[in-house]
Structure formats: C-alpha cells, structure tokens
Structure 1
Amino acid sequence: MTTIAKASGSGGKRALTKAANRQAILAAARQVFARIGFDATTVRDIIRETDLAAGTFYNYFRSKEEVFEAIAGESARRFRPMLQTVREEARSFEDYIRAAYKAYFSFLKSENEEAFRRGEPHMALIGVRVDTPEMHAIFDEIRQDLEEVARNADISLEDSEFLTAAAIGIARELGDHMLQRRPVDVDGAAKFATTLLLDGLKALATQSTR
C-alpha cells in the first residue's frame, strides 16, 4: 500500500499537501496497473492501495484513464532530455535510430527497476492508447529529428509521419515484451528494433524505384 507521511497540525489532523496526495495516487496506480493490468483495474482498486479517502481521488482525477495519462505524461517529460542528448550526439541516421532505441529501452528498464526488485510485474503499455500534450510533443520532436538526420545524410523519407508512428510503435510493443524477459536485454531489443526499422526503410526505397 502506498502510504503518505503524516504531518503535525492543530487538533492532530493530517496536513496533506495536494502534491503528496497526487503522487500517492500515481504511485498506487503504477502498482495496481502492473499487478492486474490496466483493463482490469478500477478506481476503487487504486484507492484501496492508498491511505486516502475514496472521495479524495476525484479531487485530482476523473478516471483511471486520466491517472494513466498523468503517469505517461510524467514519464515522457523525464525521457525528453535523453532524446535531446541522442539528437546532439548522433553522427548518422542509423546512429540516431540505434541510440534512440537504446535510450528508450534503458529508460523503460530503469522505470521498472523497483517492480523488478519486489518481484512484481512491470507496468504494461500494450493496447493502451495515450493521447496527451507531452506524447504529442515527443511525436513531433522525433519526427523533426528523423527529418533532420535524414536530410543531413541525404536520405529521402517517403513519409516522415508514418515513419515516426512506426518507430514509436515498435518501441512501445517491443519494450513491453523486453520487460517480460529475464534478463532484460536492452542491447538486444535496441539491435532488433534498429534492424527492423532500417531494413523496412530499405525495402520501401527499393519498391519506390521499381
């Protein structure tokens, strides 16, 4: 159960900040989503994982979907600086693809280290559509990166929007399955994803010349 530290105050009542309550809900939701899956989780399940009263949940979120979006949004904000580093250090189109996948899979592993230590399942993303401003920003950022590194390498992209969607889709699906394996093989997942995407681009280029 996710607990919240008590603070002294007049009448011995709890003095809980909004930030503490919100973080308690998010931490509890992470555990429940990982344990029984997003689809099976109810708001009541999340509340039971905290010390909060049932009505408190709705002061912060309207549904479990909003909680999941908040978790995904926070993760996206933490990942964006890593993506920026990849962009700055990439020396070629292939280098960017490989480094971006490795950065994401490494981030995904680190995000679930606590669950691994407790012997609990990881927080699966398969089948869950996340539509937040942060996720849109990452999509646009990756598309711009792909266009720039391709242009610098004199590579013609058939459709940068489709390519970005494919790259992110591979990362999400492959990343989830990577977390189910032991040991968690970040390098193997990054190599597989990179090869799959680059070979797909080569096949598209071959078709377009026919």
Structure 2
Amino acid sequence: MSEPAVAAPLPAGRREQTKAANRAAILRAAGEVFADIGYDAAGVRDIVRRTGLASGTFYNYFPDKESVFRALLEESAIEARARVRAARRSAGSLEQFVHGAYLAYFRFLAEDRPTFELIRRNASTIRTMFDEPQLGAGMEELRDDLHAAADGGTLPELDIEYLAAAMVGAAFEIGVRMVERHPPDVEGAGAFASALFLGGIERLGAA
C-alpha cells in the first residue's frame, strides 16, 4: 500500500502572505461584528463565522476578542494620529493648529467607515481603553506639539497637561456625537471644537 501523500509546505513568502491575509480577514470580520452587535454581545465564534476560516485559526493570531478589538483600535489610531499631526505641523497660526487638527480627525472618522461604525456602536468600551499605548501615543504627540507651539510663541503659557487632556477628550466625545448624526456634520464639529478651545486658550492666556 502506498503512503498517503503529504502536502508540501508552503514557501516562506507564501506562508507570510497567507498569514497576513488570515489576519486581515479576522480583523475585517471582527470590525463588522463589533459594529453590528457591539463588543459586549460579540463572541469569537461570531467573528470566525464571517471569515470562512477554520475555528482554530483565530487563536493563531489573537488569544481572545479583546485582543482583536484592541488591534482594530490601534490600526485606526495610527492613521488618525498621522493625519492629525500632519495638520498641526503644517499650521501657520494657532487657529490653524487647532482647527486643522480637529477637522483632520473628524474627517477621518467620517471617511473611514469601519472606524466610524466601530466608534458609533462601542464608544463606552473604547473609553475604558484610553490608557492603551497606541491611544495614549496621540496624547503624547499632542503634548509635544503644544510644547513646541508654546516655545515658538504661537501658544500662550498654559498648563499643557490639562490642555492636552481636554483637547483629546473633547475630540473623542464630539466625534462620538458627530457619528450619531445623519449625515455626520464634520464642518460643524470642527468649528465647535475649535471655537471652544481657541476661546478658552485666549481667555486663559490673558488671565
């Protein structure tokens, strides 16, 4: 009797492509599930059912639903941070620094549909993860840029820690309200947040 055929192992390049495709499929499916039924109601089985992968494949990439949720947030945060920081660094005035950054963030939410739906359905869960490294990195970058603006004379002398915390918190909460509107009012959200902080900065700077 002949020995059963054994499948040849995939070349290293193909293996990496397959791993990347599987991970992307899991993230895409997880984003859909979390947007449809919410983080609390979702389970790993719900995610796997939408991937077409074997049930055990999920655990080759993520240990649980929390880790895949965090991965989704991290990927979105990286893109959002890049857009916001580019807007701040291209600003020629305090108004452009504040307004440009808020517009960049709110436009990202409106344009990136998976992130839009993830936040719309899971805002309360996301709030508990603000201390995560990728989410916290945005706060650190804002603090650095505020210090640079103060050193350059664009920003009056203020408590940078308080200001950064307030600006990040307002961006998230206004963004949550914005994605609940139909259609999302990007310009209105940007104008409101900018006026709020520009007025506050002016008043605090004059105190």
Same fold (TM over 0.5): yes
Read off the aligned partner of 2:63 and give its amino acid letter. R
Q: Which residue does 1:102 correspond to in 2?
A: 103
Deviation at 1:202, TM superposition (A): 4.8
Read off the aligned partner of 1:82 and give its amino acid letter. R
Read off the aligned partner of 2:123 and give its amino acid letter. I
Matched, 1:126 2:123: yes
- How far apart, in 1, do the equivalents of 2:32 and 2:200 lie? 37
Report SS of the residue matched to 1:17: helix
Report SS of the residue matched to 1:182: coil
Report SS of the residue matched to 1:161: helix
Change (3 A) 1:144 1:178: same
1:29·1:67 contact (CA, 8 Å) conserved in 2? Answer: yes
Report SS of the residue matched to 2:102: helix
Read off the aligned partner of 1:184 and give its amino acid letter. P
Once the two structures are superposed, what CA deviation does each residue of 1:122-177 show, in whole Å capped at 9, x if it has no partner?
2125222334432232221111112222332250112x222212211111121122
CA RMSD of aligned residues (A): 2.5
TM value normalised by structure 1: 0.79
1:147·1:157 contact (CA, 8 Å) conserved in 2? Answer: no
Matched, 1:88 2:89: yes
**Alignment gaps of 5+ in structure 1:** 1-9, 116-120
Change (3 A) 1:188 1:155: same
Paired residues for 1:61-210 under 5 Å: 61-112=62-113, 122-124=117-119, 125-127=122-124, 128=126, 129-130=128-129, 131-151=131-151, 152-158=153-159, 160-202=160-202, 204=204, 209=207
2:174·2:189 contact (CA, 8 Å) conserved in 1? Answer: yes
Matched, 1:44 2:40: no
- How far apart, in 1, do the equivalents of 2:40 and 2:195 lie? 32
Once the two structures are superposed, what CA deviation does each residue of 1:30-87 show, in whole Å capped at 9, x if it has no partner?
1111111222222222112211122211111112221111111111222233233212
TM value normalised by structure 2: 0.80
Read off the aligned partner of 1:77 and give its amino acid letter. I
Higher-Rg structure is 2
**Alignment gaps of 5+ in structure 2:** 1-6, 9-14
Identical aligned residues as a percent? 44
- How far apart, in 2, do the equivalents of 1:133 and 1:156 lie? 28
